């Protein structure tokens, strides 16, 4: 084989090796970026979950101290538990949050409440207070249990 052809094959081989090394380096860099992004996402989710668990405990304490209406606490706790541990909403004593939520979710809140006539609001408030009274003991017991519940990952 002529020497020029050998040098050409060597040069082509070196170019291919260089291109493969560049490709490997680029893929490695992308993989590291993906791992870093995944780690940041997991850390953010863990912090978010921890804050939600803290909110659950604060609301549960507020229920025990009678600093919040039971209906509002149930709505908030149901929403937080949907994210943190939805299976709790089907277990005693926590299912009361789902029960109360289902009974009052049709009621307007925030801006919708402001835009509803006062007679309807009084009727809905009466209905809401009746639901609260019916489930008051269960709500307090569930809130107390939530304060001490271990939310494991």
> What are the residue ranges spanned by the domains of the chain?
3-148
What's the confidence (pLDDT) of residue 144? 95
What's the confidence (pLDDT) of residue 153? 58
What's the confidence (pLDDT) of residue 118? 85
What's the confidence (pLDDT) of residue 1? 81
Calpha distance 26→94 (Å, rounded): 51
Which ranges in 1-117 belong to alpha helices (H)? 3-64, 70-84, 95-104, 110-114
What's the confidence (pLDDT) of residue 107? 87
Q: Are 104 and 131 in contact (CB under 8 A)?
A: yes
Q: Are 89 and 82 in contact (CB under 8 A)?
A: yes
Roughly what angle, to the nearest 10 degrees, separates helices 95-104 and 118-148?
A: 170
pTM: 0.76
The whole-number mean pLDDT for each consecutive block of 10 residues of the chain, a chain of 153 residues, reads 92 98 98 98 96 96 95 95 95 95 88 83 91 95 94 75
């Amino acid at each position: 084989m002529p020497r020029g052809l050998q040098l050409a094959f060597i040069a082509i081989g070196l170019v291919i090796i260089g291109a493969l090394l560049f490709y490997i380096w680029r893929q490695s860099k992308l993989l590291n970026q993906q791992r870093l992004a995944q780690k940041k996402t997991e850390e953010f989710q863990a912090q978010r979950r921890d804050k939600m668990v803290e909110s659950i405990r604060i609301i549960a304490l507020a229920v025990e101290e009678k600093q919040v209406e039971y209906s509002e606490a149930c709505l908030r706790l149901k929403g937080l538990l949907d994210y943190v541990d939805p299976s709790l909403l089907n277990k005693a004593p926590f299912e009361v949050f789902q029960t109360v939520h289902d009974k009052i979710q049709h009621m307007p809140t925030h801006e919708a409440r402001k835009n509803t006539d006062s007679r309807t609001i009084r009727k809905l408030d009466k209905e809401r207070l009746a639901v609260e009274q019916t489930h008051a003991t269960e709500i307090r017991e569930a809130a107390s249990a939530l304060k001490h519940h271990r939310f494991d990952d």
